[in-house]
Amino acid sequence: MILDDFVLFDEKGLYCKYGNFYIDPQLPVTTAVISHAHADHAISGNNNVYCTRATASIMQLRYDRTAAKVFNIAAFNQPFEVGGVMVTLIPAGHMLGSAQVLMEYEGSRYLYTGDYKLQPDATCEPIEWVTTDVLITESTFANPDIIHPDPVAEIRKINDIKSNILLGAYALGKSQRLINLITEHAPQKKILVHHKIMPINAIYEKMGFHPGKYQIYGRKLMKVQDEFVYIVPPFTFDSYIRATGVKRLFASGWKNLQVNNQDTLFISDHVDWNDILQTITNTKPKQVWTLHGKGDHLKAYFKDDIFVKILN
């Protein structure tokens, strides 16, 4: 039997009272299962954290001593118990170490996707599929109007840009994926990386995921036009608003983050509408619970076929 209150939002985040733990809490808690290291999912100050090794390494890099009191490192596909609930982390394909959280309790299966993607990405573990009774999915782009373009076609656009490029991207996950895509599909480009991105690359490399060919940015390097692509985090990107002699591009799945309509680089690490439908086909849920976005399109689409509940 599916428990309708298996997970519920309270002021600290998504709570499972049956196992007395939070998933990706927004405020520090006693016991947290953390899906991946992005800051909107992994905060500092929790007591007991269950996560993958990569997630713990990145949290330790970012938060140092306040990352967690105790890290309980879980390998993918190895069940462990948290307060009577069997928990298994399943690769989510979103960034290095990102996990779906499968929870089994009294014969029912609840699968929290976290952020996930289906597109291939050589810089992280590919998504894996398990079946579930309840799919608890993020729904950032759960809208039939949102179809992400092919990332390879998107990245190949930069081959036509002969000037140096300033490429804005989130430091964690997106930057490494871009280094990989550019190395593969625009190999004549010379990739320069902002110093803040370097320690994250080092963690990726330690875990066996080498993003590609790049070097740390140096002031002298971009003085000439030489097909440089300088990858910088959003804050630095914004501060270079008046930069001359470079083409500015921002890589994102969000339309409103693109610099202008001619120079778009739509590269998203989230599922689009078709990916969500594919996920529902693959995981065969009896119910779909949505969070982080809008569930109303899914609710209308599945009407009488699958019960859809909007969690937030």
Please give the residue ranges that form the binding site for Zn ion (CB under 5 A): 38, 40, 115
What is the closest distance, in whole angstroms, from the C-beta atom of residue 41 to Zn ion in the complex? 6
Neighbouring residues of 180: CB distance < 8 A, sequence distance ≥ 6: 121, 122, 123, 211, 212
Query: Which pair of tokens denotes residue 308?
Result: 């859809």
Q: 38 or 297: whose CB is closer to Zn ion?
A: 38
Q: Work out how close the CB of 292 gets to Zn ion at its nearest, in angstroms, rounded to a whole number.
A: 6
Nearer to Zn ion, 115 or 125 (CB): 115
Q: Give least dist CB 263 to Zn ion, A.
A: 24
What is the distance between the alpha carbons of residues 209 and 207, in angstroms, rounded to a whole number?
6
Structure tokens at 271: 């599922």
CB-nearer residue toward Zn ion: 165 or 295: 295
CA R_g for the chain: 20
CB of 1 to Zn ion, least distance (A): 30
Nearest residue (CB) to Zn ion, 38 versus 194 = 38
Q: Which helix (H) or strand (E) holds 274?
A: helix 273-283
Distances (CA, A) of 262 to 57, 161, 247: 38, 12, 11
Local structure of 296: helix, strand or coil: helix
Shortest separation between residue 117's beta carbon and Zn ion, angstroms: 9
Q: Which is nearer to Zn ion, 40 or 81 (CB)?
A: 40
Residue for token pair 């270079």: 240
* Contact (CB, 8 A) for 241 and 159: no
Shortest CB 138 distance to Zn ion, Å:
7
Instruction: Select 164 or 252, whichever has its Cβ closest to Zn ion.
Output: 252
**Structure tokens belonging to residue 208:** 């066996």
Give the integer Cα–Cα distance in Å for 291 and 114: 9
